[in-house]
Amino acid sequence: MFRLLFILFIIIPIIEIFVLMQVGAILGVWPTIAMVIFTAWLGAKYVRQQGISTLNSVQTKMAQGQMPSDEIVTALMLLVAGILLVTPGFVTDFLGLSLLIPAVRHTITGSVMSHLSSKNSGQHGFQFHSHGAKQSQHQGDFSEQPESPSQENIQSPSKGQTLDGEFERKD
């Protein structure tokens, strides 16, 4: 984690300053500043456009009852692209603009999703075990519960049946 923060806050700004100085020496101060402002404006425009498209896709998938996992990863990459494009400099602008290319985003999304699915493949979310005398008859069945002999005719679970569960917090 320290290496990542070191790269983000020390190495990348040094590279940005070096590139800005080189471009400024070739083009001049005002054209360099104009290019940085133009790339930030252009990037913000495309991030907004593609973000709205991604939001519509998320809403469509959720309305169909599907999990919009690819769209969530895409939205996070668009957020990173927006941050990179607003940061002054040519290197961050190049990285941010590359995240706006759908083929690049699709490749990164595929690798992220395969990494997440392989990481979670051996884990089970919920297990149900029934204990008691009628284990084979009622295992995992909550829909058919015997009626209790009360006068209100309320359904209750049969005696001796226990629901065991395990909870593990994954942060």
Residue 159 placed within a domain:
no
Question: Domain of 91?
Answer: 2-113
Residue 119 placed within a domain:
no
* Amino acid in the structure at residue 87: T
Residues 145 and 159: their CA atoms lie apart, in Å, by 11
- Ranges of H-type helices in 64-101: 69-86, 90-99
Does residue 77 contact residue 131 with C-beta atoms inside 8 Å?
A: no
The dihedral region occupied by 150, where left means phi > 0, alpha psi between -120 and 50, and beta the remainder, is beta
21-67 residue pLDDT tens: 999 999 999 999 999 899 888 888 888 888 898 889 889 988 888 88
Residue 32 placed within a domain:
yes
Residues 26 and 67: their CA atoms lie apart, in Å, by 50
Structural tokens at position 151: 């006068």
Q: What is the tally of structural domains in the chain?
A: 1
Mean residue pLDDT of the chain comes to 78
Residue 73 placed within a domain:
yes
Structural tokens at position 153: 């005719």
Residue 74 placed within a domain:
yes
pTM of the model: 0.61
pLDDT for the residue numbered 24: 93
Does residue 20 contact residue 89 with C-beta atoms inside 8 Å?
A: yes
57-102 residue pLDDT tens: 889 988 888 888 888 888 888 888 988 888 888 999 999 989 889 8
